[in-house]
Structure 1
Amino acid sequence: MNKIVISTGGGDAPGLNAVIFAVVKSATKLGWEVYGSRHGYMGFLDRDEMVRLMPSDVEGITSTGGTILGSTNKGNPFSMPVANLAGEEKLVDVSDKVMAGFKRMGFGCHIAVGGDGSLEIAHRFAKLGMPVVGVPKTIDNDLEATDRTFGFDTAVSTATEALDKLHSTAKSHDRVMVVEVMGRDSGWIALYSGISGGADVILLPEIPFDMDAVCAKISENELHGKQYSIVVVAEGAKAEGGRGDQPRQRRDRSGRTAARRYRGMGGQGSSTKDRQGYPVPGARSSPTGRFADYL
């Protein structure tokens, strides 16, 4: 094997460029040629979308967010949107063309960098006979058979930094700050950043929450002289019974209606007054993440 190809699929995450850098550097030392398929599998379907990657092409990219190869969430070759002459799109299975392109270009292995969706596609190609090496990439950290995925460490660092900065504002204005973090149906980012950032309440998708218990915790803070609270909510969190917008009334010492202040939690966040967001997918990879790319 002296010719390999690498692709990045799904949403971008910190560490993608660091993975590409490590693959190109390591393969070049072995005397292998490295190619990159742009926008997922498009390089296998369109030769113009397949690029040769030299060490000079990847210099300085480890600190850059995103991926130099581009990515897509709509590039599943087993169900790819294709427009006909009338401009109408329909889903077509082009996996046979991908396999033909892989063999025609003489690749010995495909390094697929992606999350659960992208690696599921790569697994299907492996069953068809394509040699595949999967690299677990997702900020959600929701993949099996690996302790941590690329992107997760940076996501937690970014979320924790946001929480650290919110404490002073919340304390100065006696506010309850609700921070909704990414993670889809996985609560890893919320759990790690919530603990690291000193949150008072952490709501996870895996554990349906009781709004009364949330209100009671925040009211307890005020009873002990702490007039502010930080609540971290994973985007997939839901209240017991699947609803997070109909809490019963509970009044704190100051006479404010606690339930009204926290209405809107439960993975939605649309009606929460003090809602904070943070950009993670395109962030630069953390030092830990970059180091792990070489392991």
Structure 2
Amino acid sequence: MDLAGKRIGVLTSGGDCAGLNAVVRAVVHRAVQGYGMKVVGIEQGTAGLLARPVMVRELEPSLFTGDILRRGGTILGTTNKGNPFSYEMPDGQVLDRSEEIIEAYRELGLHALIGIGGDGSMAILRQLAEQGGLNFIGVPKTIDNDLGHTEVSVGYATAVDIATQALDQLQPTAASHSRVMVLEVMGRDAGHIALNAGVAGGADIILIPEVKYSLASIKRKIERIYAEGRNFSLVIVAEAVRDEEGRKVTETQASGAVTYGGIGEYISHRIAEETGAETRVTVLGHLQRGGVPSARDRIMGSTFGVHAVDLVAAGKFDRLVAWSGRHCFDVPLQEAIAGYRAVQPDSSVMLTARGLGICFGDD
């Protein structure tokens, strides 16, 4: 099939992260220079397709100067609000606006759409594609790294690097003041960031949602550290970890949205009560999403973007680009969405952490 002059769209959806611009850049370079296609960038995710006129801009390789590869966030903008199948209007009505997005796809004359997002975004975009008969390819993006069938998602490596750097910064002040430092990191349902950063950053205690903990176990670990002659300890906890009674620890935002937040403060307070240690808590929050993308995220983003365009050229749609065993490949999108990846108790990193004597609060 002659693809010269065909138009494809690219959008970023859901929360931002490092490495998104590398994907967009790769899509443009491969599509334009490799196949003679044209690329339009859809701004603000699906919100851009709901706007009238549609929020798009033509993307040419000449736009992607060296700084864009190094830039965090997404030059296209994104949104994690407004499910088009149940879209809340300003007057409180909830409408199905999915046909408006399908209409925008056709109005733009797109041959295919490449969407960069996590499991929630992928589920919505796939449903839109099925309903409208749209040609769609997904690229995995989530700092939680919990999408099924891919070992790597864009944004994860940088998030782990930032969390590791935070532990590196906290260790000297912990030692200087004889404190227990608690670091709360993102991890909506999975503890991959906390686990990997905890190992890399020399944490003594790692708390993740996949492992049930007790304060008694944490207390024993801290007391052993003191008995061995060290005057500080480092604790890293994923935001989705629950309190001892199994309750979610959340905050209500001004918009009314309920988000995770506060487990670090809870753990810090309980450790102080149980051990008498002086504790401090640091919450990384959105620092893990921003900043300069790591080399790993730039490479993965570039690899995924090129492969996504090659799938378009091959006429293979309803696929998710994936990575495993040093190779880029693709899987059925529905399988990837359904195949959630939590931390496995027998994973190499978990076994390594336990082999290092790191406490998960379950001994």
Question: TM-score, with normalisation over the residues of structure 2?
Answer: 0.72
Aligned to 2:101: 98
The answer to which structure has the higher helix fraction is: 2
Aligned to 1:71: 78
User: In percent, how many aligned pairs have the same letter?
Assistant: 41
Shift of 1:150: 0.4
In 2, Cα distance between equivalents of 1:136 and 1:120: 12
Aligned to 2:115: 112
Aligned to 1:56: 62
Q: Deviations over 1:214-233 (max 9, x none)?
A: 01100110011011000001
In 2, Cα distance between equivalents of 1:68 and 1:209: 41
Residue 136 of structure 1 pairs with residue 144 of structure 2:
no
In 1, Cα distance between equivalents of 2:237 and 2:295: 26
Question: Contact 1:8/1:114 (CA < 8 Å) preserved in 2?
Answer: yes
Q: Deviations over 1:177-227 (max 9, x none)?
A: 000001111100000000000000000001111111001100110011011
Question: Contact 1:208/1:239 (CA < 8 Å) preserved in 2?
Answer: no
Aligned to 1:31: 36
Q: Deviations over 1:50-76 (max 9, x none)?
A: 111111222231111111111111132
Question: Contact 2:47/2:79 (CA < 8 Å) preserved in 1?
Answer: no
Residue of structure 1 aligned with 2:280, choices 274, 284, 291: 274
In 2, Cα distance between equivalents of 1:57 and 1:77: 31
Q: Which moved more, 1:107-116 or 1:188-197?
A: 107-116
Aligned to 1:220: 224
In 2, Cα distance between equivalents of 1:257 and 1:103: 61
Matched ranges for 1:226-241 at <5 A: 226-241=230-245
Query: Structure 1 54/246 Cα, relative in aligned 2: closer, same or farther at 3 Å?
Result: closer
Query: Structure 1 257/36 Cα, relative in aligned 2: closer, same or farther at 3 Å?
Result: closer
Query: Structure 1 257/124 Cα, relative in aligned 2: closer, same or farther at 3 Å?
Result: closer
Question: Contact 1:203/1:209 (CA < 8 Å) preserved in 2?
Answer: yes
Matched ranges for 1:124-273 at <5 A: 124-128=127-131, 129-242=133-246, 258-259=274-275, 261=277, 273=279
User: Over aligned residue pairs, what C-alpha RMSD do you find?
Assistant: 2.1
Which structure's relative contact order is higher, taking Cα pairs within 8 Å and 6+ residues apart? Answer: 2
In 2, Cα distance between equivalents of 1:3 and 1:218: 59
In 1, Cα distance between equivalents of 2:126 and 2:54: 25
Aligned to 2:295: 287
Q: Which moved more, 1:238-247 or 1:120-129?
A: 238-247
Q: Which moved more, 1:71-80 or 1:199-208?
A: 71-80
Query: Structure 1 118/260 Cα, relative in aligned 2: closer, same or farther at 3 Å?
Result: farther
Shift of 1:294: 2.3
Shift of 1:166: 1.1
Question: Contact 1:211/1:239 (CA < 8 Å) preserved in 2?
Answer: no
Shift of 1:34: 0.3
Query: Structure 1 213/55 Cα, relative in aligned 2: closer, same or farther at 3 Å?
Result: same
1:98 maps to amino acid: I
1:198 maps to amino acid: G
Aligned to 1:270: none
Question: TM-score, with normalisation over the residues of structure 1?
Answer: 0.87
Q: Deviations over 1:143-162 (max 9, x none)?
A: 11110110000000010011
Aligned to 2:15: 11
In 1, Cα distance between equivalents of 2:295 and 2:185: 22
Shift of 1:90: 2.2
Q: Deviations over 1:35-90 (max 9, x none)?
A: 0111112333323511111112222311111111111111321122323xxxx232
Structure 1 unmatched ranges of 5 or more: 251-255, 263-272
Shift of 1:260: 5.6
Aligned to 2:45: 40
Q: Which moved more, 1:234-243 or 1:33-42?
A: 234-243
In 1, Cα distance between equivalents of 2:282 and 2:294: 22
SS at match of 2:139: strand
In 1, Cα distance between equivalents of 2:277 and 2:96: 50
Query: Structure 1 291/13 Cα, relative in aligned 2: closer, same or farther at 3 Å?
Result: same
Question: Contact 2:174/2:233 (CA < 8 Å) preserved in 1?
Answer: yes
